[in-house]
Structures are given as C-alpha cells and as structure tokens.
C-alpha cells in the first residue's frame, strides 16, 4: 500500500551504491557516448568490445583491432541494414522472425564506419552502403550484439556499433581483463534488465509549488531514476483524491514542440491544453516523461525530421534510422502513479498503446478522454500518419 507520505512525494535519500547493475550500465552509456570501448559479456562466455558507430574514427578502430581476437564487424538493426539497401539472406531473416533484431555486417578494412550512419533519402537508392559493406554474416555472439544495440539506444545514439569480437571463454576473468586494458566492463544481462530496474526505483527528489498560467494551484514533483538518469516530472494540479478515478495525462517530452512551439507536431498545444483541462476539472496529474522523440532522443528525432523532409512519414523515418516506430515503455509512468497511490485513472490520450501498456501493468484506465487539437498547416501529415499507422483515435 502506498503511504500518505509517498503520495505527497516526500523527498527521500537513496543508497545509490547498492545499485551496481544500474551503475555499470550508466557508466557504459557515458563511455559509449564519449567514444570509448565497452566490454560486454554474457553468461555463456561470449563477449565483445563495442564502440558506437557514431564515434568510431580510424584511431578507435585501430585500437579495437589491437584488443579484439578477430576483425571488427559492424552491428546494426535489421531495419537500418535494409534502409541502406542491404539484403538480409533468408537463413538469417528466418532467425529474426520478422523482428527488428541486430544484423552483423562484415567491415572490410578501408571502409568508413560512418557509411551506416548517412541519412538516406528515398530518391537516393542506398547504394552507398551496398557498395562498401558486404552481406550480413552470422554473429559470433548474438546476445552480446543485441545488448550492444540496446546500449546504443539507451545512450540515445544511432543503433549501430562497431564490435571487436572476443573469443568465447567461460573461464576467463573478463572483468579483470577489461580493467587491465582501462576498458569498461558490463554484463549483457544488466543491459537487458536496465530500463525496468531503473524505472522500478524512481524516488521523489524535489517537490515545489509552481503556479502555472492556467493552473495556479500546481506543484511539480521530480522523480529520479535509481541510475541517476534524467528525472521525470509529475505536475500535480489541485488536491488528488486517489479513491476516485484521477484525470491523468502522460506527456512525452518534446523540446521542439513544448519549448519552441514547433508546428511539426501537436505536443505544445497538447501540453498546455492538458494543464488547462485538468485545472478546469479541479484536479489531476500530468506526467512529463523524459522520453523525447518517442524514446529515441532529440538528436535522433532531428535526424528523423531530416528524413521526413525527404518524403518519409514519422513512422517510416524512425524505422529508416533503425528504430521501432515507438520506443517508449511506460514503466516509469506506472511506478510514479503507484507511488502516488493512483490506481484508477481517466486517461487523456488518443494513443491506444498508452492505454494498453498502462492496463497491462495493472493501472485501471476507466475512461479515455479525447485530447485532440486542430491541425496547424504544418502537422497534417504527422497527425494523419498517427491515425493511419499507429491507430490513434482522433
Ligand atoms: N521520433 C519522432 N518523435 C516525434 C515526432 N514528432 C513528435 N515526436 C515525439 O513524440 C512524442 C509525443 O508524444 P505524445 O504527446 O505522448 O503523443 P502520442 O504518442 O501521439 O499520444 P497522445 O498525444 O496521448 O495521443 C514526444 O516525445 C515528441 O518528441 C517525430 O516525427 N519523430
Ligand atoms: Zn512534439
């Protein structure tokens, strides 16, 4: 049972040293972002050294060659490989069962790694990659490759890594091996469990009264994940009564729409509209979730915009970059609602996926409250694509 104090979002300290799996992944994320190599090992003894393709220049590649037991390969997702014109042979495609799984590509020496990163416009047949990269090969360590792609996504980088293979060896003390080479070590299992674990241990770290233009009786409570990552915010309006269904809006961060009033999407209007609507109703909560760009991050969203200007829609652009159309998980939202003692909600949304995910995690969505704003002359295609491809209920 949630306590009244957690409902108020009282500030709690946490012993972050006890979260070693989270800390290991968090460090690996930072290392990948700054261009360093990370040793990823799985329980079957398979291992590999991963460097983000975005930051793998010639010097890093040479270093990787020196450390690895075999020639470096390029790992990306099936969607990205296909987007740059690489055909997946049937025997490899069969093993993926249609999913957006990692694909391993041979990386002949002299081929620039950034070939896999260049944006591809629909009219530029993606011959850049096919000219340079050979066909997909069977991965020596598929679960390590999958964890490396997951790590790149967590780092909000393109889902593409250069992997220095390491000989499978259960007995070898990989952690010590990595330490002796000034390289970070992380278990594949910790990467796989990271998002859920980080979301399960959110705690309130600040709670302040912030009168808003259309909702003067508002508080903002910041919830910090146990890994020390970016906070999610609960904008609490009025006095919440958790014994009745609470009016709730889940809003995913959108720097361009929320702050700059970009007309490419409907986020700014939805944000301000939701606050005004909750205030009119008397009480409710807007969760401002750190899930920029449907979970791919601002930089990748800008890359997706570039592709959209070349003709792709919002779903295809994500997939061309190698992501899924929507990478969001709603565990953080569920954890915050639970800690606030909110189990039954009236959800302001047009997105059936949000209703499905919250319900599957045990939140009772008693009603969907429509949350639609008129198109603005720039976002018609965006809204149409949401309705046609993502099942949005406008
Ligand atoms: N990748 C990507 N993200 C986008 C694009 N346009 C907007 N976003 C992001 O999409 C998210 C908008 O999410 P929400 O406001 O929750 O919208 P929704 O999923 O349509 O659901 P509802 O508004 O509840 O119906 C924000 O994180 C935006 O940054 C785009 O073209 N590409
Ligand atoms: Zn937006």
385 close to 268: Cβ distance less than 8 angstroms: no
Q: How far is it, in rounded angstroms, from Cα 126 to Cα 119?
A: 9
Give pLDDT, residue 1. Answer: 34
Exposure of 189 in the CB half-sphere (CA atoms within 13 A): 7
Among the ranges given (17-26, 163-172, 374-383), the one the predictor scored with the smallest mean pLDDT: 17-26
Q: Among all residues, which ones are annotated catalytic?
A: 326, 328
Residue of 175, 181, 168 lying closest to 64 (CA atoms):
181
Give pLDDT, residue 125. Answer: 46
257 close to 291: Cβ distance less than 8 angstroms: no
Report residues whose beta carbon is within 6 angstroms of any ligand 1 atom: 251-254, 265, 267, 270, 291-294, 296, 301, 304, 314, 318, 349-351, 354, 371, 386, 392
Specify the CATH architecture of the domain 20-194: Alpha-Beta Complex (3.90)
Q: Is 246 left (phi over 0), alpha (psi -120 to 50) or beta?
A: beta
Give pLDDT, residue 228. Answer: 78
215: CA distance to ligand 2 center in Å?
22
Q: How far is it, in rounded angstroms, from Cα 337 to Cα 49?
A: 39
Residues shown for the chain: 394
Give pLDDT, residue 86. Answer: 84
215: CA distance to ligand 1 center in Å?
24
Domain boundaries, the chain: 4-11+201-291+328-389, 20-194
Give pLDDT, residue 9. Answer: 53
40 close to 147: Cβ distance less than 8 angstroms: yes
**Which ligand has the nearest atom to the CA of 267?**
2
pLDDT in tens, 53-78: 999 988 899 999 999 999 999 999 99
Give pLDDT, residue 20. Answer: 83
Residue located via tokens 């090969």: 137
ipTM of the complex: 0.98
Q: Across the strands, what pairs with 52?
A: 161
371: CA distance to ligand 2 center in Å?
14
Give pLDDT, residue 15. Answer: 55
Fold for domain 4-11+201-291+328-389?
A: Rossmann fold (3.40.50)
56 is an annotated ligand-binding site residue: no
Helix extents (H) in the chain? 4-7, 20-33, 58-67, 78-83, 90-96, 127-132, 142-154, 174-180, 188-200, 267-281, 292-295, 298-309, 314-321, 331-339, 352-360, 380-389
Give pLDDT, residue 82. Answer: 87
Under the banding of pLDDT at 50, 70 and 90, the label for residue 4 is: very low
Handedness of CA 291, 292, 294, 295 (dihedral sign): negative
Q: What is the pTM of this model?
A: 0.92
What is residue 310's DSSP assignment?
T
CA angle 51, 189, 334 (to 5 degrees): 105
Average pLDDT over residues 214-238: 94
């Amino acid at each position: 049972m949630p306590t009244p104090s957690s409902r108020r979002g009282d500030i709690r300290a946490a012993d972050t040293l006890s979260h070693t799996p989270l800390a290991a992944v968090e460090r690996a994320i930072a290392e990948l972002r700054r261009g360093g190599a990370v040793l990823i090992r799985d329980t079957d003894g398979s291992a590999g050294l991963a460097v983000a393709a975005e930051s793998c220049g010639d010097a890093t590649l040479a270093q990787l060659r020196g450390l690895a037991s075999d020639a470096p390969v390029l790992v990306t997702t099936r969607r990205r490989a296909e987007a740059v014109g690489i055909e997946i042979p049937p025997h490899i495609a069969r093993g993926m069962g249609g999913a957006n799984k990692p694909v391993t590509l041979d990386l002949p020496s002299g081929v620039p790694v950034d070939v896999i990163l260049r944006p591809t416009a629909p009219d530029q047949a993606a011959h850049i990659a096919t000219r340079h990269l050979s066909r997909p090969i069977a991965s020596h360590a598929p679960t390590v490759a999958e964890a490396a792609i997951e790590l790149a996504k967590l780092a909000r980088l393109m889902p593409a890594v250069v992997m220095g293979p390491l000989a499978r060896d259960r007995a070898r003390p990989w952690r010590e091996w990595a330490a002796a080479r000034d390289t970070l070590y992380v278990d594949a299992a910790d990467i796989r469990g990271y998002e859920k674990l980080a979301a399960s241990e959110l705690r309130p770290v600040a709670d302040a009264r912030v009168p808003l233009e259309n909702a003067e009786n508002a508080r903002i409570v910041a919830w910090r994940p146990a890994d020390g990552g970016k906070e999610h915010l609960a904008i609490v309006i009025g006095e919440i009564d958790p014994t009745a269904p609470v009016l709730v809006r889940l809003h995913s961060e959108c720097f361009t729409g929320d702050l700059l009033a970009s007309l490419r999407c409907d986020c700014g209007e939805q944000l301000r509209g939701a606050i005004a609507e909750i205030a009119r109703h008397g009480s409710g909560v807007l969760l401002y979730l750190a899930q920029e760009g449907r979970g791919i991050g601002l930089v990748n969203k800008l890359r997706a915009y570039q592709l959209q200007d070349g003709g792709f829609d919002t779903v295809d652009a994500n997939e061309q970059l190698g992501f899924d159309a929507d990478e969001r998980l709603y565990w953080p939202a569920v954890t915050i609602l639970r800690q606030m003692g909110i189990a039954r909600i009236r959800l302001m949304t047009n997105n059936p996926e949000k209703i499905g995910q919250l319900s599957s995690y045990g939140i009772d969505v008693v009603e969907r409250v429509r949350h639609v704003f008129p198109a603005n002359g720039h976002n018609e295609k965006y809204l149409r694509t949401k309705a046609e491809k993502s099942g949005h209920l406008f």
